[in-house]
């Protein structure tokens, strides 16, 4: 069901865990499937210097969260706001439609985080 890129990010997630000294942290939940994502960022000089996540959920939720933290590295808040679920899915080689909700959850987390920072 999942391609090698999704499985690699699931098995070896990037930037998983807590972020000491985070500038902001947001937690979002998908009430339909129960996935939970906590996203933390450290902002330095207007850019995302570091991001970490903790996720409980399906393979796609963990893989999407992992790739999201890669995508956030070095971005301004405006650039982070422009990340779409489609871009997250594409970065993973395409999520199956049944699990696309995981990419949307990531964008919901970014939106929640940005609301805290504004």
Write down all domains in the chain, each with its CATH number in brackets: 4-117 (3.90.1010.10)
Q: How many residues does the chain have?
A: 118
Alpha-helical regions (H) of 1-118:
4-11, 59-72, 77-81, 85-91, 101-117
The alpha carbon of 77 is separated from its chain's Cα centroid by a whole number of angstroms, namely 14
Q: What is the CB-side half-sphere exposure of residue 25 using CA atoms within 13 A?
A: 13
For the CA atoms of 30, 48, 12, 96, the dihedral, rounded to the nearest 10 degrees, stands at 40
Express each pLDDT in 28-81 by its tens digit.
Answer: 999 888 999 999 999 999 999 999 999 999 999 999 999 999 999 999 999 999
Q: What is the pTM of this model?
A: 0.95
Express each pLDDT in 35-49 by its tens digit.
Answer: 999 999 999 999 999
């Amino acid at each position: 069901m999942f391609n090698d890129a999704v499985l690699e990010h699931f098995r070896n997630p990037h930037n998983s865990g807590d972020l000491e000294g985070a500038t902001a942290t947001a937690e979002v939940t998908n009430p339909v499937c129960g996935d939970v994502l906590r996203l933390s960022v450290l902002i330095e000089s207007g850019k995302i210097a570091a991001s970490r996540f903790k996720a409980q959920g399906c393979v796609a939720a963990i893989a999407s969260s992992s790739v999201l933290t890669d995508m956030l590295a070095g971005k301004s808040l405006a650039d982070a706001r422009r990340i779409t679920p489609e871009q997250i899915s594409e970065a993973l080689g395409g999520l199956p439609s049944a699990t696309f909700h995981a990419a949307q959850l990531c964008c919901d987390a970014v939106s929640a985080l940005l609301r805290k920072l504004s």
